[in-house]
Structure 1
Amino acid sequence: MNKQDIETFFATLKAANPSPQTELEYSSVFELLAAVLLSAQATDVGVNKATRKLYPVANTPEKILALGVDGLSEYIRTIGLYRTKAQNLIKTCQILIERHGGKVPGTREELEALPGVGRKTANVVLNVAFGQPTMAVDTHIFRVSNRTGLAPGKTPLAVELGLLKRVPAQYAVDSHHWLILHGRYVCQARRPQCEVCAVRAQCDHGRRLQ
């Protein structure tokens, strides 16, 4: 994809969805952090089902910590790797209380120092909660970036760095959401829905099919 293709690609996605949002349900920065931590190797739908029961009972570091690993596990046991995630979230809550006054920090270094929070999770929180133009490369973004020719790369980090260079500044903050939603509902893994794709003309894969 050349610069004009990329501009048209994002302009088209923006026109269809001017204010894209994460599909994880949350009402505070801490709820977002917890949901993203729980979402590793799990679907947003599955995480939302669990947090709809958890958050009315415990939605702060102090309340999660009071549940303990066993109590928290009961709420999230339908999520993959729930035991490990429960342990990580409890440890994260301890650190938030001890080092950050119970608040979620707004820097990559501080976020990645939290148990269970890797680069992708930190990028989501920095983008969604703090409005930074980060790129959290999940399986959808990795696939779309390579398939379309937007930012090919062999690793998530390579794709992330490519996207940060190639996505125009005016689309940078929302591009993460547009790419995830496009990959989730249109540019799907097994069978991309090229026949209904609004950006097929800008996509390397789509053009090969013409």
Structure 2
Amino acid sequence: MDKHPFDIDVALARIEDAVRPWPKAALFLLAEEGFTSTFEQLLACMISIRTYDEVTLPVSRRLFARARSPAQVAALSWEELDELISPSTFHERKAKQMLAIAREVSSWFGEVLPGERDVLLSFPGVGPKCANLVLGVACGTPVISVDIHVHRVTNRWGYIAAPTPEKSMVALERTLPQEHWIDINRLLVPFGKHICTGTRPHCSTCPVLDMCAQVGVTEHR
């Protein structure tokens, strides 16, 4: 089939409609539930690392029901915090890192963690993907968070060509209009989970098939 030139504005508008029936990405859904502070979003993002959203959401809610502010989390013992987040992958290490962050934030900043990238990246266990996602969701800062879904989908489209999520972030910063920098993660996480899947993507029902180059797709549904 002949393909149209890829139009990112059209593509994201179509995907917005296509993913409406599916659950939103974890941090965006938590923000809608009122967990909007930079500190809360940072803890939820750390919980989400190597962990499915289906686990991240209830674990984050359980933690926030017990402690939400830096001082409240800092007052927990490691054992208490570890138990609260135990369904999350690598929970022992995350509990140690989160406790250290809570104590540092409480000591240096009080109850409000600044929405500054350098501050977030200074914490143990926080990398560029997590920092950018927190800044985008909690602060509305125009930054791109590239997880495996954003990386796979944008490269499959042929919109960019980059071998790793880190290099995809750089390529998207050069190519993607800034007004889409936050929404690209919000939309492509459910799109990548349910339509443009890692193996045998659902190309027959894809809303952007007419523009997608289908790079690397050898079998689809």
Give the TM-score, by structure 1 length.
0.89
Kindly state the Cα deviation for residue 17 of structure 1 after the two structures are TM-superposed.
Answer: 6.2
Kindly state the Cα deviation for residue 167 of structure 1 after the two structures are TM-superposed.
Answer: 1.6
String of CA shifts for 1:80-132, please: whole Å, max 9, x gaps: 10000000000110111122223222111111011211111100011111112
2:9 aligns with 7
2:167 aligns with 158
Structure number having the greater helix percentage:
1
Does residue 23 of the first structure (1) align with residue 31 of the second (2)?
Answer: no
Give the TM-score, by structure 2 length.
0.85
1:126 aligns with 135
Which aligned pairs between 1:1-210 and structure 2 lie closer than 5 A?
4-16=6-18, 22-24=25-27, 25-26=30-31, 27-29=35-37, 30-205=39-214
1:84 corresponds to which letter in structure 2? R
Contact 1:8 1:202 in 2 (8 A): no
Post-superposition, which runs of at least 4 consecutive aligned residues in structure 1 deviate over 3 A? Answer: 1-4, 14-18
2:10 corresponds to which letter in structure 1? T
Structure 1, unmatched stretches of 5+, are none
2:67 corresponds to which letter in structure 1? A
Kindly state the Cα deviation for residue 2 of structure 1 after the two structures are TM-superposed.
Answer: 8.6
Contact 1:186 1:192 in 2 (8 A): yes
String of CA shifts for 1:46-105, please: whole Å, max 9, x gaps: 011212222111111111111121110111111110000000000110111122223222
Distance 2:62 2:136 in 1: 26
Contact 2:149 2:189 in 1 (8 A): yes
Kindly state the Cα deviation for residue 149 of structure 1 after the two structures are TM-superposed.
Answer: 1.1
Distance 2:142 2:206 in 1: 25
Over aligned residue pairs, what C-alpha RMSD do you find? 2.4
Secondary structure, aligned partner of 1:200: coil
Distance 2:24 2:62 in 1: 22
